[in-house]
Amino acid sequence: MDVLQDELAKLHGNANLSQSVQDVEKIIEQLERARESIVAGKSDSVFYIRNGGVCETLRGKEGVGIFGQFIHTDVFPDPSSASITLAKIQNPIKSGFEKVNDDLKKVHKGQSVYGRALDKNFPVKALPTEYDALASHPSLINRAIAMHLLREGQFSVASTFLDEAQDNPPHPIPTPGSPRPADSDSTDFTSLRSQELQVKFSNMYQILHELKAHNLHPAITWARGNSIELEKRGSNLEFELSKLQFVWLFQGPEVNGLPADSNNGLEGALKYARQHFGRFQGRFLRDIQQLATAMAYKSNLRSSPYYRTFDTETAWDDVSSSFTREFCSLLGLSAESPLYIAATAGAIALPTLLKLASIVKEKRTEWTTQNELPVEIALPKSMIFHAIFVCPVSKEQTTDSNPPMMMPCGHVVAKESLQRLSKGGRFKCPYCPGESHPKDARQIIL
Amino acid sequence: MADHITSKLNPDTHLILDQSLIRLPFELLRKNFKAAHFNVEKESTSVKATLKETTQASLNNASPDEIIKNVDLMLARMRGLKRKLNACAEEEARLHQQLQSRVRHLGELYGMQSLDDVKYEEWSRTRLDRLLVDYLLRYGYKDSAQALSKEKGIRDLVDVETFVQMSRIRESLRNARVTEALSWCSENKKELRRLESNFEFMLRFQQYIELVRTQNQTKLLESIAHAKKYLLPFKDSYPKEVQQACGLLAFPPGTRAAAYGELYSQSRWTTLANLFMQTHNRLLALPSVPLLHVALSAGLSALKTPSCHSLHISSISPTSASSITTSVCPICSTELNDLARNVPYAHHTKSHVESDLVLLPNGCVYGRHRLEEYSRKAGLSPDKFKDLRDGKVFPANEVKKVYIS
């Protein structure tokens, strides 16, 4: 890329059209000067026309080429200022145009040098465009984009987009991958539905904004309002928020900058704990005990065993991200924009897929697995979301129709492998000496 | 066997979706140069010729007014040339600037070590915004595209003008107008010939069909002249179409001959619009489908697992986050779930599960540590486990160990 940058700088510095503009300007100047002198000579020329005979003989004898000489030698008075002026600028203008052409050649050369550098450092790779499963579902993509914009807080762009998409609904294009464009695609991602989402997300951004300003109250109110769902998810967000509030108050006005009254500092924290921690006693008794004991160490907290609990360095970012996660989860959405993750994963997967395509083309084979990609694509750890079970016998991933089965010995194989191994009778586990009957194996959900 | 987890970033192979980013301005730069060159060529020949003629005329006693008129003519031509060249130079400067920003943007990737790099995330977000703008522009949502690129400050990284111009011509074709498309053809005559594109011929053919459609005497005569001028010269390249064109005169609209009835169909305009798009994209070396489609097709497949459209609410791998509650998988999320239905799922050769799995009596399997943590937070005593999916509580001694090989 550095090479390209250098080449580009060269292109920008040396091979541009500004020189040719200047040279064209020079030609214009010459023409203008010529015009002036012709206009100036116009009164004289009347004389020459009257004495046409002289000119005639001159011309007949000497020809055009000699005129320059007349001027230099100054033998005759200007016979026809116009024709001399014109003759005089013939060559300069011609060379002027040559100059312009040279300028252009230089630009052209610079561009081809850059083009070669581009080809060398950035060779063209064909995109796998022949298979496009998405062209038949533009309305679904539109919906995904609208939701992406909303969740990223780009409300004005989102509403522009919704209006435009409403006015010009996309035309689904059938593809070989999915021959019939789904008519059932819900195109009803109407403004009503999006408004609802927008309200929710603007609420989320509001709360996040407050969190950034170290104000926990809106977040706590939200968490309390949704405490049942949160608990079902095994989330302790509400308690984490309350705990942070306690810690925040505990640190007193020097740290939190809140007014130094009875609602702040140790006193305020205690008051807060009395008021709010009661409801958490069942689930978080240990944490509450810790917080309470820590109060005794108020004066030398830094050297106390509770120092970690009171370290708010990262705590704010942590609660912000877990708040975002829980908020989106309750809406049935992932915390990160799926569009972002999918596009990134796509960019990571493409080199492998392109390599595969080239091999397939070279070997003139085709892959027949319709449901599964033919190659493994390595993704960063953060992009693996589900437990994946690959049957150790058949090396296939388990699916709804071919679920994982656990034998009494605790080893797991896919259902189809189990049937093939056992042939209906007792069989030995392929991984241990344990023998069992297929009916003893049970389906598990990973 | 390749490992299924990676964080390696190889910039050279990673830049696949970004090719048109630096190719398109270069194509435009070349086109711009050609336009400049063409103008210089045209004006220089004409001015040189006029100069010669005028000189000649001045020797033959042309009136001074005549000469001045000619000089003025040359001046006007040269000033026009200067104006055009200036415009080209400005466009060139803009494209240089654009190329610089783009090369710099792509160059940033070379400074990153891994896919987990925070900078990569930021870069990738900008890429998504680019892909979105590309998609919006291709579908003709130009206001949204402009709004998004403005909001994100990525104007130098997207090609709004090119696509707006394209959608304008495409729209005019959809509205059964050929003027814009024809002028585009004449602008790009040489390149189209090099591509051996049939687009201009198809436009002329459509014009012809429209003339015949009127069934008006003068228009029919006109249509014959039109065919002679624009269609017949191509009878070797497009014999079928030329024959059809000839035959069409015998079949007025509403004919029952299917082959000719089709020619009168309005859907031909949509076909023409699509043909235009293809030709346009080929000419500028742009990918034929929105880049977002390419990225998503690959990405959805890479992320999709059989669990994503499973009947069971799938447990979520705890690898994605440190806490026990995790975020929803992007394929399971509402945005992409329906979209991902048609793509194949990722291929895996290794199981990827939590360590120390245990089976609850109801058939669900979890990592022991996570189960303990969850149950503790639910306020249960240590001898009880609570299912993460349906919330049922089981005695801890009823779980069984699961071995995944």
Kindly tell me if the per-residue pLDDT of B380 is higher than 80. Answer: no
- Residue-wise pLDDT for A140-181, tens only, equals 888 888 888 888 888 888 888 888 887 777 666 555 444 444
Where is the domain boundary, B78, B98, B113?
A: B113
Is residue B108 situated within a structural domain?
Answer: yes
Is residue B225 situated within a structural domain?
Answer: yes
Is residue B268 situated within a structural domain?
Answer: yes
Using CA atoms, how far apart are residues B41 and B392, in angstroms rounded to an integer? Answer: 84
Beta bridge partners of A428: A435
Of A164, A397, A409, the CB nearest to B306: A397
Higher pLDDT, A66 or A243: A243
Mark yes or no for CB contact A379/B6 under 8 Å: yes
- Residue-wise pLDDT for B29-80, tens only, equals 888 888 888 888 988 899 888 888 888 888 887 777 888 888 888 889 889 9
Minimal-distance CA residue of chain B relative to A341: B330
Per the CB < 8 A criterion, the answer to whether A206 and A213 are in contact is no
Q: Which of A29-33, A222-226, A365-369 has the lowest mean pLDDT?
A: A365-369
CA A58 to chain centre: 78
pTM for this entry: 0.80
Report CA-CA distances (Å) from B279 to B139, B185, B198, B284.
16, 10, 9, 9
Of B33, B44, B124, the CB nearest to A344: B124
Question: Which chain B positions have a beta carbon within 8 Å of A87's beta carbon?
Answer: 55
pLDDT of residue B58: 80
- Residue-wise pLDDT for A262-297, tens only, equals 777 788 888 888 888 887 877 778 788 888 887 777
pLDDT of residue B169: 92
Is residue B234 situated within a structural domain?
Answer: yes
Q: How many CB pairs under 8 A join A and B?
A: 483
Buried b (16+ CB within 10 A) or exposed e, B266-275: eebbeebbeb
Interhelix angle B239-248/B199-214, rounded to 10 degrees, is 10
Is residue B271 situated within a structural domain?
Answer: yes
pLDDT category of residue A368 using cuts at 50, 70 and 90: low
Q: What is the DSSP string of A308-341?
A: GGG--TTHHHHHHHHHHHHHHHHTT--SS-HHHH
**What is the mean predicted confidence (pLDDT) over B135-157?**
87
Is residue B149 situated within a structural domain?
Answer: no
- Structural domain including B234 reads 195-281
Buried b (16+ CB within 10 A) or exposed e, A394-420: bebbbbeebbbbbbebbbbbbbbbbee
Mark yes or no for CB contact A329/B346 under 8 Å: no
Where is the domain boundary, B113, B139, B168?
A: B113
Element (H, E) at B60: none
- Residue-wise pLDDT for B163-204, tens only, equals 888 889 998 998 888 888 999 998 888 888 888 888 999 999
Q: Which of A86-90, A209-213, B82-86 has the highest mean pLDDT?
A: B82-86
pLDDT category of residue B327 using cuts at 50, 70 and 90: low
Interhelix angle B179-187/B267-283, rounded to 10 degrees, is 20
Mark yes or no for CB contact B110/A444 under 8 Å: no
Is residue B128 situated within a structural domain?
Answer: no
Is residue B141 situated within a structural domain?
Answer: no
Residue A31 distance to chain B (closest CA, Å): 7
Residue B61 distance to chain A (closest CA, Å): 8
Of chain B, the percentage scoring pLDDT greater than 70 comes to 94
Both tokens of residue A341? 């993750």
Residue A227 distance to chain B (closest CA, Å): 12
Of A1, A94, A141, the CB nearest to B103: A1
Beta bridge partners of A352: none
Report CA-CA distances (Å) from A443 to A62, A428, B219.
113, 18, 77
Mark yes or no for CB contact B335/A338 under 8 Å: yes
Per the CB < 8 A criterion, the answer to whether B1 and B349 are in contact is yes
Residue B143 distance to chain A (closest CA, Å): 7
pLDDT of residue A65: 41
Beta bridge partners of A6: none
Per the CB < 8 A criterion, the answer to whether B365 and B358 are in contact is yes
Where is the domain boundary, B89, B113, B137?
A: B113
Based on the fold, state whether residues B6 and B109 are members of the same structural domain: yes
What is the ipTM metric for this complex? 0.81
Using CA atoms, how far apart are residues A227 and A69, in angstroms rounded to an integer? Answer: 104
